[in-house]
Amino acid sequence: MRQQNRNVVVVVGGQWGDEGKGKVVDLISPSFDLVARYQGGHNAGHTVKFEDRHFALRLIPSGICREGVLNLIGNGLVVDPRALLAEMDSLRKAGVPIGDNLRISDRAHVILPTHALMDGAREKALGSAGIGTTSRGIGPTYETKAARTGIRMADLVDPDRFVKAVMPLLSYHTDALKHFFQVEAPNVEATLAEYIECGRRLAPMVTDVSVLISERLEAGARLLCEGAQGLMLDLDHGTYPFVTSSSCGPGGAAIGLGLPPSAIGVVVAVMKAYTTRVGSGPFPTELHDEIGERIRTRGGEFGTVTGRPRRTGWFDAIVARTAVRIGGLDALALTKLDILDEEDPIRICVGYRIGDRTLTEIPARIDHYEQACPVYRDFPGWKSSTAGISEFERLPEKARQYVAALEEEVGCRVALLGTGAKRHETILRPGTRLDAWLPATVR
Ligand code: GDP
Ligand code: IMO
Ligand code: MG
C-alpha cells in the first residue's frame, strides 16, 4: 500500500461556530501550499484582519490573502455560484487577485435560488420552533445531494447538460414551494440564463480537486483544511436538530476533499475563551444578564453573515471535551481571551445537572439537553487589559491560570492564544504537534 505523507493539518471549529477559524487559518497559511474548504457553504463567515484590512470570507478559503497559496473549494461544499462570483468580485475590488490561486471541485453541489427559498419558507412556517438557519439554502441543497437529484459544478459549466439536469429539479421545487408554502419560484428562464452565465465565468476554475490534492501531496506539498461551522453544529455529533447539514469535523475533510483519512497529520480546534451561538437550540451556559450583554458588546458578537446578535455564555468544557473526542485534537487555538478582561469571576462549565443526575457527556435527546443546568468552576478575573499581548509571560498571572485550568478541564494544550482580531494580536505557544506549522513571528 502507498505510504501517505502526513503534511495535512485540519482546523475545525470546536464550539457552535464563529470561533475565529478565519483568523487562525490566515495566520498559519504561509506554512502551506494549499488551503481548502471541505464542507458547508456561504452560511460561513470567516473574518481575516491585518493592518487596516478587513475581509469577511464566505466560500473562499482564508488562505486567499496570502501570496503563493492555492485555495481549493472541495466536493463537500454546497456552492451558490452567484455568491461565489460576488465574493470573488469583492475581493478583486479590495486588491486581492483571484485567478490561478483558486480552484473549485467539479463535484461540489450547486445551490439553486429555489433551495434558498425552500430554506426560508420552512423556517418561516416553523416560526419560533425553527432552527434559525442562515436561509442560504444549505440544508435543502444537502438534501438534494442525498436524494441523488443534485446538480454539481461539472453540470453547471456545460449549458446543455445543465439545462437537462436542472429542469426536473426546478419544476419539483416550483411545485413544492407553491403547494406547501404558497411561495412563487423565480422565472425558470431567468434562472437558467443567470446560472449559465455563472457557469461560463466559473468554468476555468472547475477541476477535480481530489486528483489535484493527491498529485500535490505526492510531490511534497502541504495542505491546510479549513472547517466551517463547528463540532456542535455537526450533522451527526452536534446538538441535532439544531445543527447545520454537513460534517464539520476532520472526518468531513477526508470526505469533502477526496483525501485519505490517513493523510491527516494534525488536527487543531479553534475555541473562544467563552461560548457563542447564533440561531436556536440548547446552550446550557448561556448568559441572559449584563455579563452576557457585555461579552456580546466587547466581543462584537454579531453574525458575520446575517448580522444577528450572537447568544453568549461561559466556556463549556463538556462541549470542548466532546470536540477533543470526536476531533482527535492535537491542540487548541483559544481566541478572544481579551474579551474577558473585565469579568470577575470567570466560569468554566465542568458538568451538567439534569434532574438528580450529573452528566459529563452531552445527551442525545435534545429535550434532555434543554434541561441541562451547568455545574461551574469559578476562577478569579484578572481585571486588566490583555488586548494585543503577544507573549504568554506578559499575560496577567490570573489569565495564565485561567488558560492552564481550561487546558486541564479540556484535556488539550493551547498552542495559540488570541488577544485581538489582527494577526499580530496572537500568542504562540510551542510544545504541541502544531509547532512545525506555526510561523516564527506573526505578521
Ligand atoms: P469564524 O467563522 O470561526 O472564522 O469566526 P468569525 O470571523 O465569524 O468570528 C470571529 C470574530 O472574532 C471576528 O470578528 C474576528 O475578527 C474576531 N476575533 C478572532 N480572534 C479574536 C481575538 O483573539 N480577539 C478578539 N477581540 N477578536 C477576535
Ligand atoms: P462559521 O463557519 C455560526 C448555524 C445557523 C443555524 C444552524 C443551521 O462562520 O463558523 P444553516 O444555514 O447552516 O442551515 O443553519 O447553523 N450556522 C452557523 N453559526 N457560524 C457559522 O459558520 C454557521 N453556519 C451555520 O445560525 O443555527
Ligand atoms: Mg463565522
CATH number of the domain to which 237 belongs? 3.90.170.10
Assess whether 324 and 293 both reside in one domain.
yes
Q: What is the mean pLDDT of the chain?
A: 96
Assess whether 163 and 282 both reside in one domain.
no
Between CA 8 and CA 253 the distance in angstroms is 10
Between CA 156 and CA 164 the distance in angstroms is 10
CB of 23 closer than 6 A to ligand 2? no
Residue 443: per-residue pLDDT: 64
Q: Flag whether pLDDT at 67 surpasses 50.
A: yes
Assess whether 191 and 225 both reside in one domain.
no
Distance 310 CA to ligand 3 centre (A): 11
* Final residue in a domain of this structure, among 182, 206, 230: 206
Q: Flag whether pLDDT at 2 surpasses 80.
A: no
The residues, ordered by sequence, that sit 6+ positions from 52 with a Cβ below 8 Å of its Cβ are none
Between CA 168 and CA 165 the distance in angstroms is 7
Assess whether 153 and 87 both reside in one domain.
no
Residue 328 CA, chain-centre distance (Å), reads 17
Per residue in 248-269, pLDDT tens? 999 999 999 999 999 999 999 9
Q: How many domains does the chain have?
A: 2
- CA 361, 362, 365, 369 dihedral sign is positive
Q: Flag whether pLDDT at 1 surpasses 80.
A: no
Query: What confidence category does residue 213 fall into, taking pLDDT thresholds of 50, 70 and 90?
Result: very high
* Final residue in a domain of this structure, among 152, 178, 206: 206
Assess whether 323 and 244 both reside in one domain.
yes
> In the chain, count of helices (H) and strands (E)?
13, 20
Confirm whether 257 is domain-assigned: yes
Confirm whether 442 is domain-assigned: no
Q: Flag whether pLDDT at 97 surpasses 80.
A: yes
Residues 270-284, mean pLDDT to the nearest whole number: 97
Assess whether 144 and 240 both reside in one domain.
no
Assess whether 160 and 260 both reside in one domain.
no
Instruction: Give the pairing of strands 264-272 and 331-335.
Output: parallel
Candidate list 26, 33, 42, 46, residue with the active-site label: 46
Whose C-alpha lies nearest to ligand 2, atom 6?
133
* Final residue in a domain of this structure, among 206, 234, 257: 206
Query: Coil, strand, or helix at residue 83?
Result: helix
CB 88 within 8 A of CB 103: no
Query: Amino acid identity, residue 340?
Result: L
Active site residue 18: yes
Assess whether 287 and 216 both reside in one domain.
yes
Between CA 282 and CA 398 the distance in angstroms is 30
Query: What confidence category does residue 60 fall into, taking pLDDT thresholds of 50, 70 and 90?
Result: very high
Among candidate residues 38, 56, 36, 54, the one with its CA nearest the CA of residue 46:
56
Assess whether 186 and 239 both reside in one domain.
no
Confirm whether 443 is domain-assigned: no
Confirm whether 339 is domain-assigned: yes
Confirm whether 148 is domain-assigned: yes
Confirm whether 384 is domain-assigned: yes
Range of the domain at 298: 8-100+208-437
Assess whether 135 and 90 both reside in one domain.
no
Active site residue 378: no
Between CA 297 and CA 309 the distance in angstroms is 10
Between CA 265 and CA 362 the distance in angstroms is 28
Among candidate residues 16, 19, 29, the one with its CA nearest the CA of residue 273:
19
Atom of ligand 2 nearest to the CA of 18: 10
CB of 12 closer than 6 A to ligand 2? no
Question: Which backbone phi and psi does 174 adopt, to 5 degrees?
Answer: -60, -45
Assess whether 48 and 149 both reside in one domain.
no
CATH number at residue 163: 1.10.300.10
Per the confidence metrics, is the pTM higher than 0.95?
yes
Query: What confidence category does residue 49 fall into, taking pLDDT thresholds of 50, 70 and 90?
Result: very high
Confirm whether 193 is domain-assigned: yes
Assess whether 349 and 375 both reside in one domain.
yes
Query: What confidence category does residue 5 fall into, taking pLDDT thresholds of 50, 70 and 90?
Result: confident
Residues 315-329, mean pLDDT to the nearest whole number: 98
Rg of the Cα atoms in the chain: 22
The residues, ordered by sequence, that sit 6+ positions from 431 with a Cβ below 8 Å of its Cβ are 413, 415
Confirm whether 70 is domain-assigned: yes
Distance between start and end Cα atoms, the chain: 41
